[in-house]
Structure 1
Amino acid sequence: MLARQPAYRPQNFDPAALPFQQVSWVEGRDAKTASTEIADLKLDLVLTLVSSVLPDQIVASLRFGEWRFSFANATFEGTDWSGYAGVIEDRPATEMRIDIRRGGPAQVTNLVAAAFNTKFSAARNADFIKERAVTLVMRELRRLAETGRIEPSYHRLPQVLRSDPPSDWQLLQYARRLSIKLVARIVQAMRVKLGGGVAVWTLFVGEGSPHDFDPHKAVEIPPDKDEIRADPFMLEHEGETYLFYEAYAPGDGKAHIAVSRLVGNRLERLGIALNCAHHLSYPFIFRHDGQLFMMPETNQARRLEIWRCLEFPLRWELHSTALEGLSSADSSLTLFDGRWWLMTNLSDFHAYEDHCSELHIFEVDGPDLKTVVTHRNNPVVIDSTVARNGGRPFVQNGKLFRPSQRNEFGVYGYALNIMEIEKIDLDTFRERCIRTITPDFSPGLVACHHLDAAGGRYVMDGMLGRSRQSPQ
């Protein structure tokens, strides 16, 4: 019930038509005979989903070794405890890795590792991680098929060691905390149904660059009763500064894009820039060839949309679309070293439409989106602590930087990262985190997940805790 896993119905293949071949091998059987039989099958590798390991003689016959999922190490006497440790120990994120046993004698190396925002339920935590493991291993298998060689990930987490199952006392404590969380979720769902209980976001503005500004010096622009604001983007236009942002009021079923003039540290509301039948957010606004464009989040429409400004700031027309049928979120477009890059967070998950775990990039021809070329290793990032875009990419001193969300502690948009993109082309994507901004710069904040900057100023958003949810 808590894992929320519906029956899986494949759409792209027929399981009954796949050429499976049963290999009879029982643990404890003579390894030399078994390895000879397996060698005759000319297997490239084995994916191991159980806690036991293959004998070294069999591993030595595998061209690319035995690939082991870390969650398999948490299976004891037929019970899967893989999702419990992250919840019981209050881990900010739960790690998952694929390690390779290879050679003779077998040596263990890490292939790839990722971390995911810990869920409130251990069963959901385990199932979500296993669902992401499918995407992760398929990407690595595709890369192996194309290159013929194993390419370990650039960043590696410490090896996850086998741990004991939780004690009876830990399970009792877990059951108590889970019950409290379930009651809180039921109350929250009732509040939302009655037109309240929505997340309240507030804005902060200040001076400085994304590299080194001090958020403690930011000035808050609190929300109004009829307009809560998030995902702000700045635009300098004809000597004035404007903010485009996601706007909604308590009780609204969806959000629209609004625009205000930023005068000092206050907003002068101008109106609704864009409103559609579906939810809108993240109004990524940019200039190209003397024209203004906006690329809002339209994941409910199952396509990417770019709108062109007809009359600033309230009249826009649909200019181009792409990624038809896909659920994309928080998309950004940047021109770097003469090439246009589209960075977006896609979700095609089976049970969890979570846009926080995968970053996909494409080379495009600009806002016309007539040419969209997929990166060879999409998704280039699989990790909820760094994957989701958190604002406009920016260039400084010839280097490209990407704000990203840090989804941890079970909170959506808990913190902000500044990622330095060290290499980007259609074959490679490599970045590193150079800064993290946590929601401790203002009392009552529980999250901060978006940043934009222009003209020496910056704007951020922050989610208020219950004690401060009192819009002016």
Structure 2
Amino acid sequence: MSDWRVRIPGRDIWRVGLVEAPIADIARRGFPADAPVRWLGEEGRLKFLADPFGFWRDGRLHLFVEAYDYRTRHGVIETIELGADFTPIRRAVVLKEPWHLSYPQVFAADGEIWMLPEAYRSGAVTLYRAAAFPDVWEPAARLELDTPAIDATPFRHDGLWWLAYSPTGPQRWKQGRLHFAFAERLTGPWRTHPGNPVRDTLASSRPGGTVWIEGGLPRLPVQDCTRTYGGAIRILNISRLTPERFEAEASAPLGSPPGAGRYAHGLHTLSSCGPVTLFDVKRIDRSLWGARGD
């Protein structure tokens, strides 16, 4: 007898969570069972929040997230201000462009607050400066690299600014290649690493969160896309990073956070914000409305 059933294509639906534990502890031991996860509410149909990054200001934690709507296939950057108990108290769109935006790294440097969102469909990597934090951002510099960078992740190491990112091109490159660039100043000029792509594997190449320095060496969350896009997070333990050399080994994938429930199909951002760590998890929606897009 023939099998009449048709597999409905799925759509990734992400949800953002927060746990009161430093990112280095989670990298070593996984999500702690004794630290409750605080979840942002689920979005409406065909919408989600993803790619959470945080910034503390005046004792308040400000989240910056990608807000995506499948009906427009367009992401914008929103800020969500959290109260003392990490409950959302304010939410607003803070950056919207004609092209898709995501992965809003927000950080302080040189007396300013900066945002570096992913915007490869614009054909460029644009660094924004906070003109009036957290709501008003202005373009400050275009970073010239070897490719419009995907999920560009900035950090300082050995007196230089570094960017970890994936290149544009075939889907296999976007999910399975890692490039680096370096500069003396955040605004450039940037030089690309001669070893690019320094890593070529779906298991541990595409950046997935904030870098931290441990024992003088960078630790970079990367996505494991072997099973599905953003299927898990591994930690890339970098043992050598210079303008000429790169060496690293990836950890085993992190397990799902407690309470993920039906959102246990993926984990693709792990970002540090002092004593708390932000992350997102996904479910794959194969309902009929998800297939039709209505």
Q: TM-score, normalised by structure 1?
A: 0.55
Q: How many Å separate the matches in 2 of 1:377 and 1:326?
A: 14
**Displacement after TM superposition at 1:325 (Å):** 8.1
**Displacement after TM superposition at 1:246 (Å):** 0.3
What residue in structure 2 maps to residue 257 of structure 1?
A: 77
Please state whether the residue corresponding to 1:222 is helix, strand or coil: coil
What residue in structure 1 maps to residue 285 of structure 2?
A: 466
Residue 202 (1) aligns with residue 19 (2): no
Q: Show structure 1 runs of 5+ residues with no match.
A: 1-175, 189-196
What residue in structure 1 maps to residue 198 of structure 2?
A: 380
Residue 390 (1) aligns with residue 208 (2): yes
Q: How many Å separate the matches in 1 of 2:125 and 2:70?
A: 27
Q: Give 4+ residue runs of structure 1 displaced > 6 Å after superposition.
A: none
What residue in structure 1 maps to residue 169 of structure 2?
A: 348
- Paired residues of 1:414 and 1:439 also in contact (CA < 8 A): no
Give the letter for the 1:203 counterpart.
Answer: V
Identity %: 23
CA distance 1:342–1:295, shift in 2 (3 Å): same
What residue in structure 2 maps to residue 290 of structure 1?
A: 111
- Paired residues of 2:129 and 2:138 also in contact (CA < 8 A): yes
Q: How many Å separate the matches in 1 of 2:286 and 2:25?
A: 30
What residue in structure 1 maps to residue 290 of structure 2?
A: none
Q: How many Å separate the matches in 1 of 2:243 and 2:22?
A: 29
Which structure 2 residues correspond to residues 296-307 of structure 1 after superposition, within 5 A?
296-307=117-128
What residue in structure 2 maps to residue 39 of structure 1?
A: none
Which structure 2 residues correspond to residues 62-461 of structure 1 after superposition, within 5 A?
183-184=6-7, 187-188=8-9, 198-213=11-26, 214-215=30-31, 216=33, 217-225=36-44, 228-263=48-83, 264-323=85-144, 326-349=147-170, 352=171, 354-369=173-188, 371-409=189-227, 411-439=228-256, 441=258, 442-444=260-262, 445-461=264-280
CA distance 1:459–1:209, shift in 2 (3 Å): same
**Displacement after TM superposition at 1:466 (Å):** 3.4
Greater radius of gyration (CA)? 1
Q: How many Å separate the matches in 2 of 1:277 and 1:393?
A: 29
**Displacement after TM superposition at 1:433 (Å):** 2.1
**Displacement after TM superposition at 1:242 (Å):** 0.7
**Displacement after TM superposition at 1:372 (Å):** 1.4
Q: TM-score, normalised by structure 2?
A: 0.86
Q: How many Å separate the matches in 2 of 1:345 and 1:325?
A: 11
**Displacement after TM superposition at 1:299 (Å):** 0.8
Please state whether the residue corresponding to 1:292 is helix, strand or coil: strand
Number of residue pairs matched by the alignment: 278
Please state whether the residue corresponding to 1:313 is helix, strand or coil: coil
Please state whether the residue corresponding to 1:437 is helix, strand or coil: coil
- Paired residues of 2:236 and 2:250 also in contact (CA < 8 A): yes
- Paired residues of 1:282 and 1:297 also in contact (CA < 8 A): yes
**Displacement after TM superposition at 1:255 (Å):** 0.6
- Paired residues of 2:53 and 2:273 also in contact (CA < 8 A): no
Q: How many Å separate the matches in 1 of 2:238 and 2:146?
A: 29
**Displacement after TM superposition at 1:324 (Å):** 6.5
Q: Show structure 2 runs of 5+ residues with no match.
A: 288-294
CA distance 1:325–1:379, shift in 2 (3 Å): closer
Q: How many Å separate the matches in 1 of 2:207 and 2:251?
A: 15
Q: How many Å separate the matches in 2 of 1:452 and 1:325?
A: 26
**Displacement after TM superposition at 1:383 (Å):** 0.7
Q: Higher strand share goes to which structure?
A: 2
